[in-house]
Amino acid sequence: MHRFLIVIEKANGNYSAYSPDLPGCIATGSTYEKVEVNMHKAIEMHVHGLLEDKLPIPESQAFAEYVAVS
Protein backbone atom coordinates (compact mmCIF):
# COMPACT_ATOMS: atom_id res chain seq x y z
CA MET A 1 0.00 0.00 0.00
CA HIS A 2 1.20 3.50 -0.79
CA ARG A 3 0.15 6.65 1.06
CA PHE A 4 0.45 10.16 -0.35
CA LEU A 5 -0.15 13.52 1.24
CA ILE A 6 -2.69 15.64 -0.62
CA VAL A 7 -3.15 19.38 -0.32
CA ILE A 8 -6.68 20.69 -0.79
CA GLU A 9 -7.21 24.38 -1.47
CA LYS A 10 -10.38 26.45 -1.69
CA ALA A 11 -10.56 28.29 -5.00
CA ASN A 12 -13.14 30.63 -6.50
CA GLY A 13 -16.27 28.48 -6.52
CA ASN A 14 -14.58 25.10 -6.23
CA TYR A 15 -11.73 23.14 -4.64
CA SER A 16 -8.45 21.92 -6.08
CA ALA A 17 -6.01 19.30 -4.84
CA TYR A 18 -2.52 18.04 -5.58
CA SER A 19 0.07 15.70 -4.13
CA PRO A 20 3.60 17.08 -3.61
CA ASP A 21 4.98 13.57 -4.13
CA LEU A 22 3.24 13.04 -7.48
CA PRO A 23 4.02 16.02 -9.74
CA GLY A 24 1.26 16.63 -12.26
CA CYS A 25 -1.32 14.62 -10.34
CA ILE A 26 -4.14 17.08 -9.63
CA ALA A 27 -7.91 17.15 -9.27
CA THR A 28 -10.76 19.60 -8.81
CA GLY A 29 -14.26 19.36 -7.39
CA SER A 30 -17.22 21.56 -6.60
CA THR A 31 -17.10 20.51 -2.92
CA TYR A 32 -14.44 19.37 -0.46
CA GLU A 33 -15.87 15.85 -0.56
CA LYS A 34 -15.88 15.73 -4.37
CA VAL A 35 -12.29 16.91 -4.69
CA GLU A 36 -11.26 14.27 -2.14
CA VAL A 37 -12.92 11.51 -4.19
CA ASN A 38 -11.55 12.92 -7.45
CA MET A 39 -8.03 13.15 -6.05
CA HIS A 40 -8.19 9.56 -4.81
CA LYS A 41 -9.17 8.46 -8.33
CA ALA A 42 -6.42 10.63 -9.86
CA ILE A 43 -3.78 9.06 -7.60
CA GLU A 44 -5.01 5.55 -8.41
CA MET A 45 -4.81 6.34 -12.13
CA HIS A 46 -1.39 7.94 -11.76
CA VAL A 47 0.06 4.97 -9.86
CA HIS A 48 -1.55 2.51 -12.30
CA GLY A 49 0.09 4.41 -15.17
CA LEU A 50 3.48 4.26 -13.47
CA LEU A 51 3.10 0.50 -13.00
CA GLU A 52 2.06 0.02 -16.64
CA ASP A 53 5.10 1.98 -17.79
CA LYS A 54 7.30 -0.02 -15.40
CA LEU A 55 8.34 3.18 -13.61
CA PRO A 56 9.01 3.37 -9.88
CA ILE A 57 6.29 4.58 -7.56
CA PRO A 58 7.76 7.45 -5.55
CA GLU A 59 8.11 7.06 -1.82
CA SER A 60 6.13 9.67 0.04
CA GLN A 61 8.50 12.38 1.27
CA ALA A 62 5.99 15.16 1.96
CA PHE A 63 4.45 15.96 5.31
CA ALA A 64 2.35 18.81 6.66
CA GLU A 65 2.44 20.85 9.81
CA TYR A 66 0.42 23.81 11.04
CA VAL A 67 2.30 26.78 12.45
CA ALA A 68 0.59 29.02 14.99
CA VAL A 69 1.43 32.71 14.91
CA SER A 70 0.06 35.23 17.39
- The domains located in the chain, with CATH, are 7-52 (3.30.160.250)
**pLDDT computed for residue 40 by the predictor:** 98
Question: One-letter amino acid identity for 19?
Answer: S
pTM of this prediction? Answer: 0.89
**pLDDT computed for residue 69 by the predictor:** 97
Per-residue pLDDT of the chain (70 residues; tens, 9 = 90+): 899 999 999 989 999 999 999 999 999 999 999 999 999 999 999 999 999 999 999 999 999 999 999 9
